Structure 1
Amino acid sequence: MKKKKMKNDELPLSLIESNILPRLPAKSVGRCMCVCKQWKSFLSTPMFARMHLRHVTINDYNDVVGFYTDSSNDYKLLYLINGARNGAYIYSNRLDSWRKIDFSVGTACSERPQSTLCGKFVYFKASHRWIICFDVKTEKFRKIQCPPVPGGAKSYRRSLVVLHGCIHLCVSYKIIINDI
């Protein structure tokens, strides 16, 4: 006799995302990215990386940009340090170690970098003028110049989003025209 599944038996997604997934070992997080698109999207956010790092080894997690899995299904964490100490590190779950990589793109990251994983690249806003692209296969950085905002724009916002497998830069701005 089949037991009828009751609505009360299911865990709310918010509980899974805030209390269960961040406590998993890195290897399990990499595997959880394959569960569904919603989990992969959530597990690829800087917010999740900060939540996860609260339960692992890094104490200063404000500079973390993102994480990814490489072609060998190794869960890797990309860690950027801003300011005078500018540098980049990659943590490999398979090797259980950190290593420094070249971060000579010539620009510091914004105070709260927003990262977006798209295909084999991690993109993040470095400033209002630059986007940094990290190739997860070659583990190299490159700098991409943002298009200029129209003259007279008083305030603007830029966001990186992935739509249909492609990275997009969305810009919203306000122009104030003074009547003479």
Structure 2
Amino acid sequence: MQGLSKTGRSDVPEVLVFEILHRLPVKSLTRFRCVCKPWSSSFQTPLFITKHHNHHLRHNNLNLLLKSSYVSTRYDTHYFSQLSTDKGHNFSVKQTVHLPFFENFLYSPKVDGPCNGILCLSDFNDKVALWNPSTREFKILPQSSIQCPPSAGYTDFDRSGFGYDSQTDDYKVVRFATIYFEGYDEHYNRYVELDQNEKFELYSLRSDSWKEISHPGGTTYDPLLFNNYLNGFHYWAACGYYDNENYILSFDMVTEKFSTLPLPLPRTSGSYRLDLLDFNGLLGALLPQGEGTEKSFDLWVMNGSWTKQFTIDSVPGVGRALGFWKNGELFLESSDHELVLFDPSTRELKNLGIHDYMETMEISAYVESLVPINGRSEYEECIIRRPPGGASN
């Protein structure tokens, strides 16, 4: 990293300065760009970006982003909050983040990722953006390339995935578009849905463009189930359109091909709820057991085949699972729509004092990164960050 040690202290070896800097948080590195031009340029090199991210990944330096809503109204109800933890493991809202690009819609943006510290946000109305909350860079993606016939009524972009192509050093977004065809029903004196068609498209950050891709065909996918990215693949819980068979659908970001995986257990009823997640670098499936306000959870892990990892027995007052934290603790949403943290080893259930409305809460745990997304600053996109009860920053 040429010039990195030119700080007025010639006795400090360049290698040592490099080792110190790549351990620092992104906020500190952003300030240190003003120290000298060699430092500023060095922080943008692939070598430094990779070493910095891998260090924080190795030390499990996770950050938390909470998506939720206050009330069930259409406008200005959805928000993101960055959560902070102190040494006593107390969670609090560090700041709230307002994203004008996704305002004035009934449903809050769907979150895909994280992937190398980057999140993909999307809605049903052809709005997609990439966001690096650490560098505060935000990129609005171009509109869809899918050509809809004149007879089409409307199009829903209701499912998506996001990930990294390691062979081409590219970030990609795969998206499912459902085109609905309508016709006028004289009996009911109104337009009704006659048919629908699914198309799939892929965005490349490197080319900054969309292209249509082939799809598995004959299937439909449940957008309500959690989905996840892991090791170059994005996963969805899926259901066959004709046979109503449940399985897991995956998309390879390198080959740009779909494939399927079986479920950990065969479906035993009309509904099959599972949450897909990253568990220590492997694909995990969290299956809730039981009904009402007392649930158990089985964790299955895919490592060549599905293996049952453990069972979390009878957690009282729980609505649904949101994801794992650093030491195996599990974030849960209570039946009262409060964010709680459950420790399986002690069976302690800790209320974190954060409330949402009607199961809108989602947790994204990500590791900071300096990865650029060729976008604009949050300030340029009018994104506002506010500490609780304070002014914007």
- Return the TM-score normalized by structure 2: 0.31
Mark the CA change 1:161 to 1:143 in structure 2 (over 3 Å): closer, same or farther.
same
Partner of 1:68: 163
Amino acid at match of 1:78: V
Q: CA deviation at 1:73?
A: 2.4
| Pick aligned residue for 2:82 from 10, 13, 23 | 13
Q: CA deviation at 1:107?
A: 1.4
Per-residue deviation, residues 82-125 of structure 1 (Å, max 9, x unmatched): 47322211011221211111112531111435320010111111
Mark the CA change 1:33 to 1:19 in structure 2 (over 3 Å): closer, same or farther.
farther
Per-residue deviation, residues 23-56 of structure 1 (Å, max 9, x unmatched): 9xxxxxxxx954xxxx45xx2xxxx522772654
Gaps spanning 5+ residues in structure 2: where? Answer: 1-80, 84-93, 103-113, 130-139, 145-154, 180-195, 240-244, 292-393
Mark the CA change 1:17 to 1:58 in structure 2 (over 3 Å): closer, same or farther.
farther
| Pick aligned residue for 1:130 from 247, 259, 263 | 247
- Answer yes or no: is the 8 Å Cα contact 1:65–1:114 preserved in 2: no
SS of aligned partner of 1:75: strand
The yes-or-no answer on 1:107 pairing with 2:227 is no
Q: Distance in 2 between matches of 1:135 and 1:62?
A: 20
Q: Distance in 2 between matches of 1:70 and 1:88?
A: 18
Gaps spanning 5+ residues in structure 1: where? Answer: 1-11, 24-31, 176-180
SS of aligned partner of 1:141: strand
Q: CA deviation at 1:161?
A: 1.1
Per-residue deviation, residues 49-75 of structure 1 (Å, max 9, x unmatched): 227726544587742422112122222
SS of aligned partner of 1:137: coil
Partner of 1:160: 276
- Answer yes or no: is the 8 Å Cα contact 2:115–2:164 preserved in 1: no
How many residues align? The count is 144
Amino acid at match of 1:145: P
Mark the CA change 1:139 to 1:113 in structure 2 (over 3 Å): closer, same or farther.
farther
Amino acid at match of 1:70: D
Q: Distance in 2 between matches of 1:154 and 1:92?
A: 37
SS of aligned partner of 1:157: coil
Q: Distance in 2 between matches of 1:17 and 1:58?
A: 28
Q: Distance in 1 between matches of 2:159 and 2:271?
A: 27
| Pick aligned residue for 1:170 from 280, 286, 299 | 286
User: If each structure's strand is expressed as a fraction of its own residues, which one has the higher value?
Assistant: 2
Q: Distance in 2 between matches of 1:167 and 1:156?
A: 18
Mark the CA change 1:57 to 1:170 in structure 2 (over 3 Å): closer, same or farther.
same
Q: CA deviation at 1:173?
A: 2.7
- Answer yes or no: is the 8 Å Cα contact 2:157–2:178 preserved in 1: no
Amino acid at match of 1:77: V
Per-residue deviation, residues 117-136 of structure 1 (Å, max 9, x unmatched): 01011111113712101111
Q: CA deviation at 1:158?
A: 0.9
Identity of aligned residues (%): 24
Give matches, 1:44-83, under 5 Å: 48-50=120-122, 53=128, 55-58=140-143, 62-71=157-166, 72-82=168-178
Partner of 1:96: 208
- Answer yes or no: is the 8 Å Cα contact 1:120–1:136 preserved in 2: yes
Partner of 1:6: none
User: If each structure's helix is expressed as a fraction of its own residues, which one has the higher value?
Assistant: 1
- Answer yes or no: is the 8 Å Cα contact 2:172–2:205 preserved in 1: yes
Give matches, 1:37-48, under 5 Å: 39-40=117-118, 43=119, 48=120
Partner of 2:48: none
Q: Distance in 2 between matches of 1:82 and 1:112?
A: 15
Q: Distance in 2 between matches of 1:148 and 1:109?
A: 17
- Answer yes or no: is the 8 Å Cα contact 2:141–2:208 preserved in 1: no
Mark the CA change 1:111 to 1:66 in structure 2 (over 3 Å): closer, same or farther.
closer
| Pick aligned residue for 2:228 from 101, 116, 120 | 116
Q: Distance in 2 between matches of 1:85 and 1:168?
A: 31
SS of aligned partner of 1:108: strand
- Answer yes or no: is the 8 Å Cα contact 1:63–1:112 preserved in 2: no
